[in-house]
Amino acid sequence: MSCRVRDTIEATYDRFAVVSAALAAYLGLVFDPSARVVERAPIQAVEALAGDDPGFGQIALAELLDTRDDAMQRLTGVMAAEEWTATHPQ
């Protein structure tokens, strides 16, 4: 049993599998899914960087599907879609 919500291990695994698939789909809008190895150190304090911070320049083009501008347009489009806004209220 899961200590957190008293679910079975199977139910907990299923919940994590759904989240994992959703995260992979979301990141797949920007990052190349065939890029299996990242040959650089992590970007320090990335969660605190502004969107135009030069630190993001450390991400190699080989890790991305295409340009950052194209990726941002794709993400913006997905997040503006009715399906997204209906399930992700602000």
Residue 44 and residue 59 in contact, taking contact as beta carbons nearer than 8 Å: no
pTM: 0.60
Question: Does residue 17 register a pLDDT over 90?
Answer: yes
For 4, 10, 59, 64, the CA distances from 33, given in Å and listed in that order, are 32, 27, 14, 9
CA 80/CA 73 separation, integer angstroms:
10
pLDDT at residue 3, as a whole number: 55
DSSP codes of every residue in 71-88: HHHHHHHHHHSHHHHHHS
pLDDT tens sequence across 24-73: 888 888 888 787 788 888 898 988 988 788 888 888 888 888 887 888 88
Per-residue confidence band for 4, with pLDDT thresholds at 50, 70 and 90:
low
3-class state of residue 58 by DSSP: helix
